[in-house]
Amino acid sequence: MTEAAYRLPGSGQSGVCTAGPADFLVLLKPRVMSLVVFTGFAGLLAAPGSLHPVLAVVAVLCIAIGSGAAGAINMWYDRDIDAIMTRTAGRPIPQGRIAPGDALGFGVVLSVGSVMVMGLAVNYVAAGLLALAILFYVFIYTIWLKRRTPQNIVIGGAAGAFPPMIGWAAVTGDVGLGALTLFAVIFFWTPPHFWALALFRNGDYEKAGVPMLPVVAGPVETKKQIILYTVLLIPLALTPVWVGVAGWYYGVPAFVLSVAFLGFALAVWKDDSDRAAKRMFGFSILYLFAVFTFLIVDTAVLDAFKVTS
């Protein structure tokens, strides 16, 4: 699978390219995977009950592989527009380092394998949610929504909100209210996160024909929507406290971070350049890592309190 013969992009001729392990790693979208793994791990820790450490590692690994597999299939399907966009033109398929068929096969095998292992080793509810997340990302977001509607990120963003629910279900075997609150935090975080990126990558999306909100509705409407979603995120970030999943070791930092996120959104509204949008996009990644870090810390504190009391 390291050597692939196929038609090189734009060459009109068939060629032979050698793909190394690093190229297949890129297919898995490791930066996206890191967020997915981290939020899935946080959901696993926050869930009531316990899971054997070995099974916990297996569950997190399955979430990581399933996420990467969906990313590989996404790159296979989007190879035409990836070749057009500056941000994605260096990916292995547009560059001719990996054949499209190899990327698709790689993604499908990993998808099936991760779901099967999750079901056999952990439980079928977690496996079902993992399968649903992969299918949602591939068929609902990538194939159906991305090229058809500016609401692609709003609806399609649900795929990225599944990991904490999967981690939760790995422990409990079900999806409780607490898991849904963690899903909601990521679901409402996703649009302002991606729209900030779309504001300063607007030309890329327009060139590729992807109807992101700034392309279809313009920057002013996009900035309004960014503010709306960040405002809604402030109370939603506190719902894990209200339903008893977390305490105020999580709640206070989550509130402060959410208000800061709104501050970045307001800065985007006032700034006609790309500078504020770039800053908000960078902070949005830090925001999600930080919020779920404090959820993990809060869970550890609560568990320690239970042991000593």
Residue 133 phi, psi dihedral angles, 5° rounding: -65, -45
User: Which of 70, 179, 182 has the alpha carbon at shortest distance from 130?
Assistant: 70
Check pLDDT > 70 for residue 10.
Answer: no
**Alpha-carbon dihedral 74, 140, 184, 118, rounded to 10 degrees:** -60
102, HSE (Cβ side, Cα atoms, 13 Å) = 20
Give strand pairing partners of 16.
5
Check pLDDT > 50 for residue 3.
Answer: no
161, HSE (Cβ side, Cα atoms, 13 Å) = 20
pTM: 0.91
Q: Is the distance from CB of 106 to CB of 1 less than 8 angstroms? A: yes
Classified as helix, coil or strand, 5 is strand
Check pLDDT > 50 for residue 210.
Answer: yes
Place of tokens 């908000």: 280
CATH class of 1-174: mainly alpha
Distance CA 23, CA 255 (A): 40
Q: Please state the domain extents for the chain.
A: 1-174, 176-309
pLDDT per position as a tens digit, 222-255: 999 999 999 999 999 999 999 999 999 999 999 9
pLDDT, averaged across the chain:
92
Cβ count within 10 A of residue 97: 18
Distance CA 273, CA 214 (A): 14
- What does the block give as tokens for 55? 């099974």
Check pLDDT > 70 for residue 219.
Answer: yes
pLDDT per position as a tens digit, 137-187: 999 999 999 999 999 999 998 999 999 999 999 999 999 999 999 999 999
**Sign of the dihedral defined by the CA atoms of residues 41, 42, 43, 49, in that order:** positive
CB under 8 A, 24+ apart: contacts of 300-304: 300/45, 301/247, 301/249, 302/246, 302/247, 302/249
